[in-house]
A and B are shown apart, each in its own frame.
Chain A
Amino acid sequence: MFKKWFLMLAALVFSVAALAADKHYVLGVDGLACPFCAYGIEKRLNKVDGVTGVEVDVGKSTVRVTLQEGKPFSEERARQAVEEAGFTLRSYSEVEGETGGSDVQ
């Protein structure tokens, strides 16, 4: 009996964790070529509702954006944020898991 309840609880925990999983996007950004400019993109993207993380890779000209599950982040919204920072969106892709999205040229 105790084992059954334990398994049910474990299943519930994993379900909630799965439902709360973040979504990841990788943006290719043109015009980005120095660290000081990268901060502007971080700030604009962090103002998008649901964004929990922004990581700029200046050498690859890419920006990895993490959003809460269920929050929308369309290509148009990404383009708007990048353009408000003064740059140009080159590519947009949703990626799975913690890695991937390197092919965004």
Chain B
Amino acid sequence: MCNNNHTVGLFLLVGALALTGVPAAQAAPNTFNTALPVPQGETIWREQLVLRERSDGGPMDREVSVQALGSVLGYGITSKLAVFGVVPYFFNKALDVTTPMGRIERDTGGIGDVSLFGRYTVYQDDFTGGTFRVAPIFGLTAPTGDSDDRDRFGELPRPLQVGDGAWDGFGGVVATYQTLQYQMDAQLLYRENGRHDGFAHGDETRLDASLQYRIWPFSLKGISGTPGFTYALLESSLVHRERNEIDGGTDANSGGTQWLLAPGVQYITRRWVVEGTVQLPVAEDPNGDAIQDDYIVRVGFRRNF
């Protein structure tokens, strides 16, 4: 019975669709969420530095460079229900673009749109040395970021603003299969972006998966207590974005589909997780000359309180 459950769980996980762009403060994937628990009454803190480079293939040769810090606090209301708050801070968000005036740069920064979401464990199968869990997540993103910043050329393009000025909603499901040797996570997430002042980011659907394999210590035989684990990671993100809406129409050069792979490493102790990954595009199908990711570097830590 137990083994059957594990087999079914593994099968469901491997076949599952998954992900969110809102990583939670938990041991596990670096680029998205996990279903592992936050203990009741306990808090987990996470910081993640993100360096993101994007570009298009069009005549304007747009290049977007982002340096941001994502701060996350997670709190266990019960052992099954956890809430998370995510505050993005943009050190710089810059656009280089070719115009009739020549090559120009426009940039902005500051606190972005803050997200709050909850996660509830609806299925939990614990066994000796492992677990399988499934947890839906639902959340909102508030328009806390500046959405009308300007520079000497006028108001910045809406997609460049650190906030979109609208309330956004997102929901999905995350599944985790964890053993002492490895862990797999998968997440399916849909984000519906609100409209503000005639603009809306295209809605987004993400399917993410992650494999973390313990590479050190090689074996736990003869090791007692709680040693630190080092994991090698490989994460996959399939992201589809609809076209942005502008003034009642759509931007033909926005949105599309992209598949990213992210190798990485993670060191986990009782109180700390230190991690880093590089997301690289392996396939893409942009709409028109839509900007797509070139690479995303993520480094950070998580801490148990």
Interface residues of A (CB under 8 A from B): 28, 30-44, 55-61, 83-88, 90, 105
Q: B59: CB under 8 A from chain A?
A: no
In the complex, chain B residues whose CB is within 8 Å of the CB of A86 = 36-40, 76, 79-80, 121
A42: chain B residues within 8 A (beta carbon): 270
Are B126 and A37 in contact, CB atoms less than 8 angstroms apart?
A: no
Tell me, in angstroms, the Cα distance from A38 to B26 when the chains sit together: 13
Asked whether, in the complex, the Cβ of B178 is within 8 Å of the Cβ of A36, the reply is no
**In the assembled complex, how far is the CB of residue A69 from the closest CB belonging to chain B, in whole angstroms?**
25
Q: What are the residues of chain A within 8 A of B79 when measuring CB–CB?
A: 83-86
17 extra A-B contacts, CB within 8 A, seeds A30-B128, A86-B80:
A31-B130, A33-B129, A33-B180, A34-B180, A36-B27, A39-B271, A43-B39, A44-B39, A57-B224, A59-B180, A59-B221, A85-B39, A86-B37, A86-B79, A87-B37, A87-B131, A88-B124
The 19 listed contacts between A and B (C-beta, < 8 Å) are A28-B128, A30-B127, A31-B127, A34-B178, A34-B180, A35-B228, A35-B270, A36-B27, A36-B273, A38-B226, A39-B304, A43-B39, A58-B180, A59-B221, A84-B39, A84-B41, A85-B37, A87-B37, A87-B126
Pick from B27, B37, B225, B273: contact of A55, CB below 8 A. Answer: B225
Question: Which of chain B's residues have a CB closer than 8 A to the CB of A41?
Answer: 39
Inter-chain contact A39/B270, CB cutoff 8 Å? yes
**Interface residues in B, total, Cβ within 8 A:** 41
How far is B270's CA from A40's CA once the two chains are assembled, in angstroms?
9
The B contact surface, by secondary structure, is loop
- State the main secondary structure of chain A at its contact with B: mixed
A-B contact count (CB 8 A): 109
Task: Establish whether residues A56 and B304, one from each chain, have CB atoms under 8 Å apart when the complex forms.
Answer: no
> Bound complex: CA of A33 vs CA of B131, how far in Å?
8
Q: State the Cβ distance, B40 to closest chain A Cβ, in Å.
A: 4
How would residues 269 to 305 of chain B score, 1 for a CB under 8 Å from any chain A CB and 0 otherwise? 1110100000000000000000000000000001010
- A34 B27 Cβ-Cβ under 8 A: yes
Q: Is the C-beta of B268 less than 8 angstroms from some C-beta in chain A?
A: yes
B227 near A: Cβ within 8 Å?
A: yes
Closest 5 CB pairs of A and B: A86-B37, A31-B126, A40-B39, A59-B220, A36-B27
Q: Chain B CB within 10 Å — which of A30, A37, A57 has the most?
A: A37
Residues of A contacting B226 in the complex (Cβ-Cβ under 8 angstroms): 35, 38, 56-58
B38 to chain A: which residues have CB within 8 Å?
40, 86
Of the residues A30, A37, A43, A105, contact of B37 by C-beta under 8 Å: A37
Report which of B223, B224, B229 forms a contact with A34, defined as CB distance below 8 A: B229
Q: Does B65 contact A (CB under 8 A)?
A: no
Q: Which residue of chain A lies nearest to B222 when distances are taken between CB atoms in the complex?
A: A59
Shortest distance from the beta carbon of A13 to any chain B beta carbon, whole Å: 33
From A44, which residue of chain B is reached at the shortest CB distance?
Answer: B39
Q: A85 vs B40: C-alpha distance in the bound complex, in angstroms?
A: 6
B183 on the A face (CB < 8 A): yes
